[in-house]
């Protein structure tokens, strides 16, 4: 099986507004490879020019997904002042409130409650969203050893893409998205009469175990290669003591558009976090204050003035994969590609 891999270029078109700090759930933000997930409050990110919400709090999965998908198709775009659009082109504008309502509906769908004996009927779309756990300790250790690059690690991005493709292969997924230490894959309804209805517990445990095993295999291989190239011995026993694991959330959806909205939501989340993440990872004087007290456009200017733009593609956008006969990287912004109707290749049916 081959996959069409799209290295997306996700623009960041939001600003940060001051809000009271709240405890973030594990589902809302994964433990990022930059080790700064605990210090960044991304829940307060909003658009510079934010329209009123188009769907109400507590809206249904169908209503909230169709609202966001429709807004992405509209021609309106946010306006950023004093931001280099050449380095960071704007994505379609969707009010923050609509993303929030959609996110709430998606997280409810990932609870997958109401199914007898936790069995998912064969006519449902299924999402598997795996998130890394315990990455902070690992990253600090491997960055000190020089195995992972500081700031954004291309080695880590390559490992996550390998895990994503492996998960797609194992579950015959139609498409997937990976960003930070998170992977989301979409499984179509299984119409094969030889297949039984799927168990939520089995899907969850198999996906989490599969990604954990593949990631740690890639990690050991990288440590071994680093030792040979650099002539420095990496203590594998020490690395094994801080090996990360992945958990998994299973979502159940009635339609392909509802399932796809999960990936679009994660792409939006990736773009929201990327700028503040880049500022924090720079380690430069004033970075902490810039993250805590300034908006995304101001953070963009701060990065640009220090020669830190454009951001690495995977950090800014993640990677989008589609099941296909060929594997070809195509650059583009996921949300913009969806708006233009070119997110999927010709003759591809989700």
The pTM for the full model equals 0.78
* Averaged pLDDT for residues 334-342: 88
Q: All domains of the chain, ordered by start, with CATH?
A: 2-14+64-340 (3.30.70.3000)
Residue 156 CA, distance from chain mean position = 14
Q: What is the pLDDT of residue 209?
A: 97
Q: Is the pLDDT of residue 51 over 50?
A: no
Q: Is the pLDDT of residue 206 over 80?
A: yes
Q: What is the pLDDT of residue 29?
A: 42
Stretch (H or E) spanning 47: strand 45-47
Outline where the chain has alpha helix (H): 61-73, 96-109, 135-145, 154-171, 200-230, 236-240, 256-282, 287-293, 296-305, 313-317, 334-340
Q: Is the pLDDT of residue 31 over 60?
A: no
Instruction: Write out pLDDT tens, residues 259-283.
Output: 999 999 999 888 878 888 889 888 8
Q: What is the pLDDT of residue 257?
A: 95
Share of the chain above pLDDT 70, in %: 71
Q: What is the pLDDT of residue 136?
A: 80
Q: Which of 39-53, 199-213, 215-229: highest mean pLDDT?
A: 199-213
CA nearest to 337, candidates 3, 8, 77, 68:
8
Q: Is the pLDDT of residue 12 over 60?
A: no
Residue 8 CA, distance from chain mean position = 11
Q: What is the pLDDT of residue 147?
A: 84
Q: Which of 57-71, 222-236, 327-341: highest mean pLDDT?
A: 57-71
């Amino acid at each position: 099986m081959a996959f069409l891999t799209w290295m997306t270029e996700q623009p960041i078109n939001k600003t940060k507004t001051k809000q009271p700090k709240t405890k973030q759930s594990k589902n809302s933000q994964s433990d990022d490879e930059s080790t700064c997930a605990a210090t960044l409050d991304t829940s307060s990110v909003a658009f510079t020019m934010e329209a009123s919400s188009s769907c109400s709090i507590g809206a249904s999965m169908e209503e909230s997904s169709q609202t966001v998908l429709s807004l992405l198709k509209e021609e309106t775009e946010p306006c950023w002042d004093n931001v280099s659009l050449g380095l960071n082109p704007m994505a379609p504008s969707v009010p923050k409130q609509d993303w929030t309502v959609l996110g709430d509906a998606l997280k409810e769908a990932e609870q997958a409650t109401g199914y007898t004996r936790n069995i998912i009927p064969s006519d449902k779309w299924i999402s598997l969203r795996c998130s890394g756990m315990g990455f902070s300790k690992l990253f600090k250790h491997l960055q000190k050893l020089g195995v992972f690059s500081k700031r954004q690690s291309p080695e880590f991005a390559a490992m996550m893409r390998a895990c994503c493709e492996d998960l797609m292969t194992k579950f015959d997924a139609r498409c997937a998205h990976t960003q930070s230490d998170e992977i989301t894959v979409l499984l179509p309804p299984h119409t094969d009469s030889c297949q039984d209805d799927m168990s939520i517990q089995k899907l969850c445990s198999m996906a989490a175990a599969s990604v954990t095993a593949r990631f740690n295999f890639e990690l050991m291989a990288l440590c071994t290669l680093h030792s040979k190239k650099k002539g420095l011995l990496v203590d594998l026993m020490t690395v094994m003591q801080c090996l990360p694991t992945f958990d998994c959330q299973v979502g159940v959806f009635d339609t392909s558009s509802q399932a796809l909205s999960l990936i679009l939501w994660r792409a939006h989340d990736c773009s929201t976090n990327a700028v503040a993440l880049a500022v924090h990872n720079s380690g430069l004087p004033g970075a902490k204050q810039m993250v805590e007290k300034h908006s995304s456009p101001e953070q963009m200017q701060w990065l640009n003035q220090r020669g830190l733009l454009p951001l690495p593609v995977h950090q800014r956008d993640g990677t989008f994969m589609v099941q296909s006969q060929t594997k070809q990287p195509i650059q583009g912004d996921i949300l913009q590609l969806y708006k233009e109707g070119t997110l999927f290749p010709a003759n591809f049916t989700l």
